[in-house]
Amino acid sequence: MGDICDEQSRVLTMKTINPRAVEMEYAVRGPIVTRSVSLMKELEAGAQKPFSKVLQANIGDCHATGQNPITFIRQVVAACVCPDMMDSCNFPDDVKNKARRILQGCKGKSVGSYSASPGVEVIRQDIANYITKRDGQKASSDDIILCTGASDGIKTILNLVMTGKDGCEKAGIMIPVPQYPLYTATLTEYNAHPIPYYLNEENMWSLDVSELERAFKDAKGKCVPRAICVINPGNPTGQVLTRKNIEDIIRFANEHKLMILADEVYQHNIWAKGSAFFSFKKVMTEMENGKYSKTELASFMSCSKGYMGECGFRGGYAEVVNLLPDVKAILLKSISAKLCPPILGQVVMDTIVNPPQPGEPSHELFEKEKSEVLSLLKRKAEIVTQLFNSIEGIKCNEVMGAMYAFPRIFLPPKAVKAAEAQKQSPDFFYCMDLLETTGICTVPGSGFGEKPGTYHFRITILPKLEEMQAVLEKFKEFHLNFLKKYQ
């Protein structure tokens, strides 16, 4: 709307601004979410809507939807922030001990000082111990890099595998479709070439190696393939990869000389019977007598998901193994200008990898709070799957893990046409209508990528159980009306 005269005097216009920033999309916080925020403000101001409350089911933001923090985590953080309070505030001994141990590892014994760029050394050690215990395979603190949420770690590693070149010399990065949009957003920002591979919706969103081969072949001549990203448990798809599937991916990556980026932030969120989480690190170390144990791998973890859901602390880590020493040195240099990740995010990460042990004063409460969150999420995962599958025109794979359902919606041709007339993707059109009619905020499947001609949306399983049930009923009503409207 700026007048021309105004445009001409500006440094930054839509013509001069970084075109990659214009192109970049991140649907989890896209226009539907923006509209949901406006709707909230309208409701607050007394506007009449067909609903009394906006339900933000667009983002895996556990505490925003009412999940309570784990007492032990918060007490350790508070004790680190105000060490003088430890005694006067009656913190349990294990809280105090942990806080003292971490502070001992901070410069000047203050969480206000910078840590080394890869993080506080004792915390890196605790993470290595956690991985060692989880995998039954030795991990080293030298391979641990703490980061500002897993997103920051993923961007750091992707930056490393870039070629710095253009056209067919761009780095090619294999990414799942559908996929958490941080990947496509970052590849756009970095001017890299995405090599999309489709997850198999017909087979529980599994990852077929034949599809990886197809995608790799298709990318020939278009880029220099460098890495494959795998999200397990899946986001937005909720699948949990089998050990056999992971082995196949590792073989594929080695055959084609690809670094593996394993996004394993939902490792605590496994719901399906018979499913289990296997880390890429464990599998590659153990398969075929260690033949693949030298694979270049980065695995990412976060304090934002699991049972803790401490998104606001921006804590996370990457375990990066099998880099050549001089390459490792470049990695460490590349993170140095960021100074360090937030210390309290590191502290939260520590409480998760090194929780209270049996016999310690906080153990019982910690386990109780943890299992309450996880069992509730498990129930919601089941309910959501069941309910969506009970609705005409919707098909939803089992939510095996993570925090989302990603149902497929079969839209009538008239709805597709109506969307196209508005230059919207049909699932965007659907999700916007859903929001305006019911107040339920979701993310259209197009924001994650999907097979052409298929439509989906992502909805979190985080709202409170009682709310969830009411919401799903409301959703059902909307959906059937939508079908009727465009039949």
Please, which of residues 289-318 interact with a copy of itself by CB under 8 A?
294, 296, 308-314
Q: Which is nearer to a copy of itself, 331 or 399 (CB)?
A: 331
Give, as ranges, the residues between 227 and 256 that touch a copy of itself (CB under 8 A). Answer: 227
Q: Which is nearer to a copy of itself, 69 or 412 (CB)?
A: 69
Residue window 52-81: x/- pattern of binding to a copy of itself, with contact defined by CB under 8 A: ----x--x-xxxxxxx-x----xx-xx--x
Interface residue with a copy of itself, options 4, 5, 47, 324 (CB under 8 A) = 324
Among 465, 453, 461, which residue's Cα sits nearest to residue 406? 461
Listed ranges 134-142, 157-165, 263-271, 411-419: which one lies at the site for a copy of itself (CB under 8 A)? 157-165
CB 269 within 8 A of CB 235: no
Task: Please report whether residue 461 would count as binding a copy of itself according to CB under 8 A.
Answer: no
Question: Angle at CA 341, nearest 5°, toward 335 and 344?
Answer: 165
CB 270 within 8 A of CB 236: no
Q: Which is nearer to a copy of itself, 62 or 394 (CB)?
A: 62
Residue window 426-455: x/- pattern of binding to a copy of itself, with contact defined by CB under 8 A: ------------------------------
Cα 402 to the chain's mean position, in Å? 9
Strand partners, 460: 404
Cβ of residue 209: shortest distance to a copy of itself, in angstroms? 19
Interface residue with a copy of itself, options 96, 124, 193, 226 (CB under 8 A) = 226
CB 32 within 8 A of CB 428: yes
Cβ of residue 470: shortest distance to a copy of itself, in angstroms? 18
Cβ of residue 311: shortest distance to a copy of itself, in angstroms? 5
Give, as ranges, the residues between 327 and 356 that touch a copy of itself (CB under 8 A). Answer: 327, 330-331, 333-334, 336-345
CB 27 within 8 A of CB 181: yes
Cβ of residue 414: shortest distance to a copy of itself, in angstroms? 32
Listed ranges 107-115, 210-218, 405-413, 445-453: which one lies at the site for a copy of itself (CB under 8 A)? 107-115
Please state, in angstroms and rounded to a whole number, the distance separating the CA atoms of residues 236 and 85. Answer: 42
Among 138, 31, 102, which residue's Cα sits nearest to residue 435? 31
CB 341 within 8 A of CB 313: no
Q: Which is nearer to a copy of itself, 170 or 474 (CB)?
A: 170
Tokens 């880099």 belong to residue: 323
Task: Please report whether residue 136 would count as binding a copy of itself according to CB under 8 A.
Answer: no
Task: Please report whether residue 106 would count as binding a copy of itself according to CB under 8 A.
Answer: yes
Token representation of residue 127: 């993470």
Cβ of residue 398: shortest distance to a copy of itself, in angstroms? 27
Listed ranges 155-163, 279-287, 431-439, 476-484: which one lies at the site for a copy of itself (CB under 8 A)? 155-163
Q: At what angle do helices 325-336 and 149-161 cross, to 10 degrees?
A: 130
Radius of gyration over every alpha carbon of the chain, rounded to an integer in angstroms:
23
Give, as ranges, the residues between 2 and 31 that touch a copy of itself (CB under 8 A). Answer: 2, 6-7, 9-14, 16-22, 24-26, 28-29
Q: Which is nearer to a copy of itself, 107 or 417 (CB)?
A: 107
AA identity, residue 281: K
Q: Is the dihedral of CA 43, 469, 309, 196 positive or negative?
A: negative
User: Which helix H or strand E contains 128, and what residues bound it?
Assistant: helix 121-135
Please state, in angstroms and rounded to a whole number, the distance separating the CA atoms of residues 262 and 297. Answer: 7
Reported residue count of the chain is: 487
Q: Which is nearer to a copy of itself, 306 or 407 (CB)?
A: 306
Cβ of residue 256: shortest distance to a copy of itself, in angstroms? 10
Count CB-CB contacts under 10 A for residue 322.
17
Listed ranges 46-54, 104-112, 135-143, 479-487: which one lies at the site for a copy of itself (CB under 8 A)? 104-112
The helix/strand/coil state of 330 is helix
Please state, in angstroms and rounded to a whole number, the distance separating the CA atoms of residues 263 and 298. Answer: 8
Q: Which is nearer to a copy of itself, 115 or 438 (CB)?
A: 115
Interface residue with a copy of itself, options 42, 50, 53, 82 (CB under 8 A) = 82
Tokens 């919706």 belong to residue: 201
Q: Is the dihedral of CA 202, 246, 457, 62 positive or negative?
A: positive
Cβ of residue 25: shortest distance to a copy of itself, in angstroms? 8
Q: Which is nearer to a copy of itself, 41 or 214 (CB)?
A: 41
> Which residues, in sequence order, are CB contacts of 127 under 8 Å at separation 6+?
139, 141, 144, 146, 317, 319, 349, 350, 353
Give, as ranges, the residues between 370 and 429 that touch a copy of itself (CB under 8 A). Answer: none
Total number of residues binding a copy of itself (CB under 8 A)?
A: 104
Token representation of residue 26: 């991140």
Q: Which is nearer to a copy of itself, 62 or 399 (CB)?
A: 62
Cβ of residue 94: shortest distance to a copy of itself, in angstroms? 16
Give, as ranges, the residues between 176 and 205 that touch a copy of itself (CB under 8 A). Answer: 181-182, 185-186, 189, 191
Please state, in angstroms and rounded to a whole number, the distance separating the CA atoms of residues 172 and 100. Answer: 46
Interface residue with a copy of itself, options 36, 125, 141, 151 (CB under 8 A) = 151
